[in-house]
Amino acid sequence: MRFEQPKTVNDAVSLLADADGLTRVLAGGTDVLVQLRLGMVEPDLVVDIKAIPGMRDITEENGGFTIGAAVSGAELGEHAKLVAAYPGVVEGMELVGSTQVQGRATLTGNLCNASPAADSVPAMIAADAIATIAGPDGPREVPVADIAIGPGKTSLKKGEIITSFHLPARPANASDAYLRFIPRTEMDIAVASAAVNLTLKEGKVVAAKIVLGAVAPTAVTVPAAADAIIGTALDDASLDAMAKACEAACNPITDKRGTIEFRTKTAGTLAKRAAKIAFARAGGKS
């Protein structure tokens, strides 16, 4: 196994593009190293991106944020402005692992590991986050929603890496929230999850995006659920309608972590609860 720590994005891209055999990008390594130790993968080349300048920076431009690919969960949580603007994205990432894991784990790794249960992904999609990708054919920008295409599979091409994410500037009275269900209180994988991003005007929801995790091969955006709450102040009837729409969008499996029935019902419950939290954060009064 070869290990490289390039100093530029171009070097990283050419290393990966030129490599034969199995490659892995190493961001925080909290998925990669565990998979190595369990013998699940034996890559021929591992490329660590943490030494590339800019990869560990969060920058603010015109009210939006650009987050480098190697920024850790702990660093996200310490960025006061980001936390104020996107509390849902940050809380999704902060649910990942433990204090030790937080020191390393990244949004990028969470997304590119492509687990249907990845905790930071639903809120990123709900926030309309855009990934910037570098590759042999030059850079491109892709909505986060289009990166994961199935369990363990991404749309990235050979030699491509994510260099950063962009979270757009927010209007006033907008916020987000993320909730997951696990049987324990930490160190577990989401059985179902929901992110809600919404904007209020005069106390009513004028824009919303609702994304569910762990209930389908990839995170699911549910426009019908958003429609159910747009124009409302989250009265019980609209919340129930939203939960129903969420349940209808679920396509989960029964496995050791939960049944179809349980995942479906819980996704609806979580969406309701997350919507209420996002609503209150955006200044809504119920």
Partner 1 sequence: MALDDTKRDFKVIGQRVVRPDGIDKVTGKAQYGADLILPGMLWGAVVRSPHAHAKILKIDASEALKLDGVEAVVTRADFVEQKGDNFADNLDNIMAGKKALYDGHAVAAVAATSQRLANKAAKLVKVEYEILPHVTEVDEAMKADAPVLHEGRKYTGAPAGSGPNVTHYQDYGHGDLDAGFAKADMVIERSFKSEGVHQGYIEPHACVANYNTDGRGETWVCTQGPFMIRDFTAAFNGFNISQVRVTPSEIGGGFGGKAHIFIEPVAAALSKKTGRPVKMAMTRSEVLRATGPTISGHIDVKIGMKKDGTITAGYLGMRAQGGAYPSGTVDMATQAAFAAYDLENVKSEGWNVVTNRPKEAAYRAPGAPLGVWGVESVLDELCQELNLDPMEVRIKNAAKKGTKSSYGPTFDDMGLLTALEAAKAHPHWNAPLDGPNKGRGLSCGFWFNFGGATSVSLQINSDGTASVTEGNPDIGGSRASISMMAAETLGLPFEKVRTIVADTNSIGFNQETNGSRVTFAVGLATIKAAEAAIKVMCGRAAKIWGIDEEAVDWVDGAAVPSGPNAGDFPPMTLAEIAKVAVQTGGPIAGHHEVTADGAGVSFGVHIADVEVDPETGKTTVLRYTAFQDAGKAIHPDYVEGQMQGGAVQGIGWALNEEYIYGADGRLQNDGFLDYRIPVASDLPMIDAVILEIPNPGHPYGVRGVGETGIVPPLAAIGNAVSRATGVRMTKLPMSPPTVLKAIS
Ligand X SMILES: Cc1cc2nc3c(=O)[nH]c(=O)nc-3n(C[C@H](O)[C@H](O)[C@H](O)COP(=O)(O)OP(=O)(O)OC[C@H]3O[C@@H](n4cnc5c(N)ncnc54)[C@H](O)[C@@H]3O)c2cc1C
Question: Cβ-closest residue to ligand X?
Answer: 109
Residue 18 CA neighbour count, 13 Å, CB half? 7
Backbone angles phi, psi at 246, to 5 degrees: -65, -45
* Partner touching 137 among partner 1, ligand X, none, CB below 5 to 8 Å by kind: none
Taking the C-alpha atoms of residue 23 and residue 140, their distance in angstroms, rounded to an integer, is 21
Report 185-204 residues binding partner 1 (CB under 8 A). 185-189, 191
Report 236-255 residues binding partner 1 (CB under 8 A). 255
Report 210-229 residues binding ligand X (CB under 6 A). none
Six-digit token string for 40: 């699940």
Binding residues for partner 1, how many (CB under 8 A)?
20
Taking the C-alpha atoms of residue 73 and residue 94, their distance in angstroms, rounded to an integer, is 6
DSSP state letters, 19-75: --S-EEEESS-TTHHHHHHTTS---SEEEE-TTSTTTT-EEEETTEEEEETT-BHHH
- Tell me which stretch binds ligand X (CB under 6 A): 111-119, 204-212, 248-256, 262-270: 111-119
State yes or no: residue 104 binds ligand X (CB under 6 A).
yes
Shortest Å, Cβ 1 to ligand X: 14
Sole residue written with tokens 């034996």: 42
Shortest Å, Cβ 81 to ligand X: 22
Q: Which amino acid is at 140?
A: R
Report 151-210 residues binding ligand X (CB under 6 A). 156, 161-162, 187
From candidates 9, 15, 26, 129, binder to ligand X by CB under 6 A: 26
Shortest Å, Cβ 58 to partner 1: 28
Residues that bind partner 1 (CB under 8 A): 39, 181, 183-189, 191, 255-259, 261-262, 265-266, 269
Residues that bind ligand X (CB under 6 A): 24-32, 34, 49, 69, 95-98, 101, 104-106, 108-110, 112-113, 118-119, 156, 161-162, 187
